[in-house]
Amino acid sequence: MTRMKEERKAENITWHDGTITIEDRARRNGHYPAVLWFTGLSGSGKSTLARAVEEALFARGCQVYVLDGDNVRHGLNSNLGFSDADRAENIRRIGEVAKLFADAGMIVLTAFISPCRADRDRARRVIGDAFLEIHAACDLAVCEERDPKGLYARARRGEIAEFTGISAPYEAPEKPELSVNTGHRSLDECVEEITGLLASRNIFLDR
């Protein structure tokens, strides 16, 4: 698949398709690829939910992997902070990495705040049909009450600049494939909703 020329700096490069098809990989894995793109405030439960879904899918034999914001920022994206431009680049790279995982046939779960609609929409365009946006919908008050890393308290004291929900914006998705109420539903209920979404999208092959 070719991509928009203006996004590329390099010239004189040629795309090569492999001979192993998406169907070949699906038969091997027992499922089609998918990108479950979790978005939500810090403390909304994205990572917890992504890990629980990963465990459930792994238990049923799926090739599954979580890309998590805090973890990826330790490595691949360690040169990025939380300015608008850095968050956009963070999400751009993750969109590209998730696409590679999906091309490899895997179910990939991304757990990034990804606060900007345009950045998520770009990931959707890059990834295509495999992209499923899941809003970890949880009120700011609940996230702040939980404050698992103590960051909201620090942001309120002015110790962390541009903190999402406090001093930086969060744009909730308008038409996510799924919105899970992580503030009120149990973890098991949320996991079931998500595996149900995958089933309804015919991600799993009959075995």
CB-based closest residue to ligand ADX:
69
Helix-then-strand count for the chain, H and E? 8, 5
Residue 148 vs 196, nearer CB to ligand ADX: 148
Rule CB under 6 A: which residues touch ligand ADX?
42, 69-70, 73, 82, 87, 90-91, 112-115, 149, 151, 160, 162-164, 168
Q: Which two tokens stand for residue 118?
A: 């345009």
User: Residue 29 or 44: which CB sits closer to ligand ADX?
Assistant: 44
Report, in Å, the least distance between residue 34 CB and ligand ADX: 20
150: left (phi over 0), alpha (psi -120 to 50) or beta: left
Cα-Cα-Cα-Cα torsion 20, 24, 28, 33, nearest 10 degrees, comes to 90
Least separation, in Å, of the C-beta of 61 and ligand ADX? 29
Per-position b or e across 87-110, b if 16+ CB within 10 A of its CB: bbebbeebbebbbebbeebbbbbb
Nearer to ligand ADX, 113 or 126 (CB): 113
Looking at beta carbons only, is 42 or 182 nearer to ligand ADX?
42
Catalytic residue IDs? 114
The crossing angle, in degrees rounded to 10, of helices 84-103 and 117-127 is: 20
How far apart (Å, rounded) are the C-alpha atoms in residues 12 and 18? 19
Structure tokens given for 100: 């590679």
